[in-house]
Structures are given as structure tokens and as C-alpha cells.
Amino acid sequence: GAVVSQHPSRVICKSGTSVKIECRSLDFQATTMFWYRQFPKKSLMLMATSNEGSKATYEQGVEKDKFLINHASLTLSTLTVTSAHPEDSSFYICSARERASQGEQYFGPGTRLTVT
Amino acid sequence: GESVGLHLPTLSVQEGDNSIINCAYSNSASDYFIWYKQESGKGPQFIIDIRSNMDKRQGQRVTVLLNKTVKHLSLQIAATQPGDSAVYFCAENTGGGGNKLTFGTGTQLKVEL
């Protein structure tokens, strides 16, 4: 149980284009989903917290107009990187917390984004 | 062997030995701590957690120790196996309504045959 999927697993896009990443909780309802970014050999940095049915809360320094987050249902959150640039290339990981959970987050497998 | 996770250090151990991975957390208000294992190109995998009202918790081959006085967390892996090779992160939950996790810098564990 508690499986989180991400799609796509890898994506290559050209500068200036937008790319959408999906995060799904497959066997539980997630009232809260989190989006992280990870550079090579670095730790996970929280980008934003996504609550179902409300606007996402972004961490300091993360541009909300560049990283659009939508959490339209209890099993799906999407992250759209708009007008992508090479410096947006990174490993993006989502996590989801069960409705009744007091803290544990279940992580997706990550999405490798490369912007050329 | 032991490590202090500040700059993604590497801990090399022989197969069958015990491993100790250390983590210094930052927020004295944190009430929940988790250890994650991350293999290359994959998302973090939950290993074990501990709440702030405990100082020790054991799982299968793993033990987490919490010292709130010095804000230190450690993960002990018994009889380390090649499949344990990965990067290990500690994470702290500062509690409150947000329940956000703050991750440590990580430690690379390499198991030598």
C-alpha cells in the first residue's frame, strides 16, 4: 500500500516550453502533496505544499508563476514548469500524505527534467 | 563505521559490519524524525521513524536513536548488506499544521564485499 507514482519519469524539453509532471497516490487519498527539487548529490529541497482544493503554499524563493501547482483531486497533483530554462533541469520528486496520517510522507519515484 | 552527514560524506563499510549514520538536525521544535534511503535515480524510501517523546526505536536490522539535548539523530544498520548501498537522509518534521519535512544533507553508504 501507500504507492505514489509520477509521470513522466524522464522528460526532455526545449527552452521556452512548458512541461507538466503528474503525481498520483494510487491506493490512498492524499489531502496534502509536496513537491521537491533535487540537484545531483544534493538533498531534497521543498518547493511547495499542495492541498487539495486550495492554492499551493510555496517556499521562499520559489516562483509560483513559474512552477504552477494544481491539486484538483485527492489522488492527483500536477507541477507545470513554465517557460523552462536549462537551469530548471533537475530531479523533481513529489510526496503524498494520507488523510489520517500524522506525518509520514510517501514519495514518488521522481521525474528527471532536462531542458535543452 | 560512522559518519557525520554535513557535506554528503561517504561511509564505506565491509559487508556484514554494522553501519552508523549520523545526522544533526536544526529545529528544537521538531517532533517527528524520519530516515529515508534513496537509490540512484529513485525517490526516497521510508526506513524508520521516531517521535520526539522517544529516544530509541528498532526495526528490522535498523535502529534509530534520538538525542534531543544535542539535536542528534543516528541510524544504525546491523549486518550491512550490498543492497544497503544508497544515500541516506534524515528528515525532521517541525510539526504544526504544515507538517513540512526538512531534509539533511545525506550520507552515501557504500558496502564493500
pLDDT digits (tens, 9 = 90+) for A91-102: 999 999 886 656
Please determine, for residue A79, whether its predicted confidence score (pLDDT) is greater than 70. yes
Closest chain A C-alpha to B108 CA, distance in angstroms: 9
Please determine, for residue A113, whether its predicted confidence score (pLDDT) is greater than 60. yes
Per-residue pLDDT band for A5 (boundaries 50, 70, 90) equals very high
Query: Would you tell me which residues 37-96 of chain A have a C-beta closer than 8 angstroms to some C-beta of chain B?
Result: 41-46, 49, 57, 93, 95
Question: Contact B36/A107, CB-based, under 8 Å?
Answer: yes
Residue A38: the pLDDT is 95
Question: Contact A110/B42, CB-based, under 8 Å?
Answer: yes
Name which of B25, B45, B88, B101 to mutate to probe chain A: the one with the most chain A Cβ atoms within 10 A of its Cβ.
B101
* Chain B residues in contact with A102 (beta carbon < 8 A): 32, 99
Per-residue pLDDT band for A78 (boundaries 50, 70, 90) equals very high
Q: Who among A4, A57, A109 is closest to B42 (CB)? A: A109
Residue B95: the pLDDT is 60
Q: CB distance from B81 to chain A under 8 Å?
A: no
Query: Would you tell me which residues 48-77 of chain B have a C-beta closer than 8 angstroms to some C-beta of chain A?
Result: 49
* Chain A residues in contact with B96 (beta carbon < 8 A): none
Please report, in tens digits, the pLDDT of each residue of chain B (113 residues total): 554 444 578 999 999 999 999 999 988 888 899 999 999 999 999 999 999 999 999 999 999 999 999 999 999 999 999 999 999 999 998 765 557 889 999 999 999 98
Per-residue pLDDT band for A2 (boundaries 50, 70, 90) equals confident
Residue of A nearest to B94 (CA): A103
Question: Contact A49/B98, CB-based, under 8 Å?
Answer: yes
* Chain B residues in contact with A46 (beta carbon < 8 A): 100-102
Q: CB distance from A104 to chain B under 8 Å?
A: yes
pLDDT tens digits for range A7-65: 999 999 999 999 999 999 998 888 899 999 999 889 999 999 998 888 899 999 999 99
Measured at the CA of B39, the angle between CA B91 and CA A28, to 5 degrees, comes to: 65
Residue B6: the pLDDT is 43
Q: Residue length, chain A?
A: 116
Please determine, for residue A4, whether its predicted confidence score (pLDDT) is greater than 80. yes
Q: Dmax of chain B from CA atoms?
A: 45
Interatomic CA distance for residues A67 and A78, integer angstroms: 10
Residue A51: the pLDDT is 86
